Amino acid sequence: MVNHIFKKSHEGLMKVSKNSNELRGPFHWPLEFPEVFVSGGFDAIIGNPPFMGGRRMRGSLGDSMMEWFSFSWPHASLNADLSSFFYLRAANLLTTGGEFGLLATQTIGKGDTARTGLSHLIQKEKITIRNALSSFTWPGKASVTAALVIGHKGIWRGIKYLDNSKVDKISPALDKLEGWGKAKALKMNKDKSFQGSVLRGKGFILSDEEARTFLQERSISSQVISPFMSGEDLNSSPQQKTIRWTINFKDMEFDECENNWPELMERVRELVNLKGKKQQKSKQIEKTGGNTGEYEISFMIK
């Protein structure tokens, strides 16, 4: 009985996610480097952590990893970039007086990623940013704007450098402004400011010409084709006009969409990712367009 329980527990821990047969290879820092942790941790950690938008992490890393992130760092937002969790882990592994030097994209100092990573490290983990490049073009093939952060665990009494200039203090936003703290939500903006819709594929976006063609051919298309305004449109057009449109099937059933808008469904099939497998029930908070039999299409706009 005990062996059976052990076996089941081992199998559960080894799986990347409940719905995957992929196995993870466990790595225990104290077991791999016992001599380091006898002394309290690493003196230095350097690296180039992977970066991945928060919305993609669950699908790539699995539910168990997301649960571990939340358990290990209750303050963390799962919308933060993956790299911020490497910053948190690096700080955990340092001895007092140790330092990390880590790359990231420039988003490391912005929004949920900054609040999850650098802001928490400065306010709660006694990390001092002593040197940083807030933004530079990555010299490799990838078209990325990168950032570099060197953090010291403990009080740093030396000179601090931001973008190669001496400064008194470096904030979590990777600037020299004093008084950067936790952003406060404005109560007057409640129910007025929100993220907006998240498309489940670029195939839902129509150019102005494409949208007008669909609308002219069949007036019923106006029920599921609407202007798609982004923050860029809002901030650049005084008339708040947009040149993009989107297909929005709302919460309609798959068959209803197929019968009423076959030409739009054909476009969805061609341009939006189709998973060539039978639809499976999932506890993940993701709606699908109905039971398709052989295919699963997420054609909702969140």
Say yes or no to pLDDT of 10 above 70.
no
Residues 74 and 152 in one domain: yes
Could you tell me if residue 36 is inside a domain?
yes
Say yes or no to pLDDT of 8 above 70.
no
Residues 19 and 163 in one domain: yes
Question: pLDDT by residue (tens digit) across 44-90?
Answer: 999 999 988 877 888 788 888 899 999 999 999 999 999 999 999 99
Residues 81 and 145 in one domain: yes
Pairing of strands 127-137, 160-162: parallel
Residues 46 and 159 in one domain: yes
Type of residue found at 140: G
DSSP class per residue in 148-208: EEEEEES---S-EEETTEEES---TTSS--TT--PPPPPGGGTTT-------S-GGGEEEH
pLDDT band, very low/low/confident/very high, at 297 (cuts 50, 70, 90)? very low
- Structural domain tally of the chain? 2
Last residue of a domain, one of 110, 143, 167: 167
Residues 151 and 215 in one domain: no
DSSP state letter for 220: G
Output the pLDDT for position 183: 64
Per-residue pLDDT, averaged over 83-98, amounts to: 97
CA dihedral 179, 185, 189, 194 (to 10 degrees): 110
Torsion angles phi and psi, residue 200, rounded to 5? -100, 35
Could you tell me if residue 293 is inside a domain?
no
Could you tell me if residue 299 is inside a domain?
no
CA dihedral 56, 60, 65, 66 (to 10 degrees): 20
Say yes or no to pLDDT of 280 above 80.
no
Q: How far apart are CA 90 and CA 274, in angstroms?
A: 38
Per-residue pLDDT, averaged over 164-174, amounts to: 95
Tokens 């820092």 -> residue: 29
Residues 139 and 234 in one domain: no
In sequence order, which residues have a C-beta less than 8 Å from that of residue 53 and are 6 or more positions away?
Answer: 81
Residues 161 and 266 in one domain: no
Per-residue pLDDT, averaged over 219-235, amounts to: 87
Segments forming the whole domain that contains residue 82:
12-167
Q: pTM score, two decimals?
A: 0.63
Residues 151 and 239 in one domain: no
Q: How far apart are CA 245 and CA 207, in angstroms?
A: 6
Output the pLDDT for position 55: 74
Last residue of a domain, one of 120, 144, 167: 167
* In the chain, % of residues over pLDDT 90: 48
CA atoms 9, 12, 15, 16: torsion sign: negative
